[in-house]
Structure 1
Amino acid sequence: MNFSSSAPDYWEPGMEQARDCELTPDQCVIGGEAFFVRGLIELPVIGGDEVFSWGVWVSLSEKNFVRASELWETPGRESEPAYFGWLSTELFPYTPSTINLKAMLHTRPVGRRPIIELEPTDHPLAVEQRTGITMERVRELAEAVLHPEA
């Protein structure tokens, strides 16, 4: 019920050697000027209490990244206003591309990954976030991720 990306799409092998690049399970900095936070896009499953989630990355402004980092281990961080960002993970089951969809990153209590709310557009991923998906769609998504076409 969850698939995740280990890095933003802009991360390239070898970047970990650069002094101005860093990748952790929750945050990423590229070239000292691109800033990312990992969060979840949750899709409610229709007819039940389950949620399918995509673990994805959102780019933030430097100011918002610094603020989110300062509060990362602070109890009550979930009361912080949401941060605007751009989706920075390509989810191949979707067309058109998911790169650069507008999003809001909502922090949650310490120890829980932030929630990513997509701008309510007609993009299929944004529609599924708003309206939910069936268990059949969950199976389709899992099949697409686990067995991509060559």
Structure 2
Amino acid sequence: MTSDLGFTCSCCGAQHPAFPLNYSATAPYVWDESFSGRSDCLLSSDQCVIQAQHYFVKGLIEIPVIGSDDVFSWAVWVSLSRESFARAVDRSDTPGREAEEPYFGWLSTDLCLYSPTTINLKTRVHARPVGQRPLIELEPTDHPLAVEQRTGITVDRVHEIAETVLHPHADDT
């Protein structure tokens, strides 16, 4: 299993005990700390509302790791329409919600490892059984993230992502 192998980081030389297979964004890219505590704003681990006008849910972009049973995932934010957000919230504890039609959304997390930007990629948000984050399906375009979701990534790519995320400014020296 990939996550048991660990790796020696080429940036810091440290032996990391495991390949991280999940990274998570804390908030949508448009969130500002000045919104905290406002009555028209909310940021939880699963939902975000900004000025009672912009609505977001957190879900997983899952990418198979080629040659293993592992799945790499990005926990990202997706903006939904007010109606779709209300429906998703209303059904959040409803068994069988995974049978719902997916919601259209816009990716609202900047995954800086990808060029061009991941902001506003078209998505479909698939509800899963209660207790599981939604699955985020990217529109099948030629964007590198969409290609990775469709075709999978190698263990070497997982290693590259880990080094870039753990040492975001290693190239700035």
State the TM bucket, normalised to the shorter chain. Answer: over 0.9
1:110 aligns with 2:130: yes
Q: Tell me which residue corresponds to 2:72.
A: 52
Count, aligned residues: 150
Give, in whole Å, the separation in 2 of the partners of 1:8 and 1:77: 24
1:1-150 map, 5 Å: 1-149=21-169, 150=172
Q: Tell me how far apart the structure 2 counterparts of residues 14 and 111 of structure 1 sit (CA, whole Å).
A: 30
- What is the rounded CA distance, in whole Å, between the counterparts of 1:85 and 1:99 in structure 2? 11
Deviation at 1:111, TM superposition (A): 0.3
CA RMSD of aligned residues (A): 0.6
Q: How many angstroms apart in 1 are the aligned matches of 2:156 and 2:135?
A: 24
Higher gyration radius (CA): 2
TM-score w.r.t. the length of structure 2 is: 0.86
The alpha carbon displacement at 1:54 in A equals 0.1
Unaligned 5+ segments in structure 1 are: none
Identity percentage over the alignment?
62
- Deviating runs (4+, > 6 A) in structure 1? none
Cα distance between partner residues in 1 of 2:87 and 2:104: 12
Q: Give the aligned residue type for 1:43.
A: I
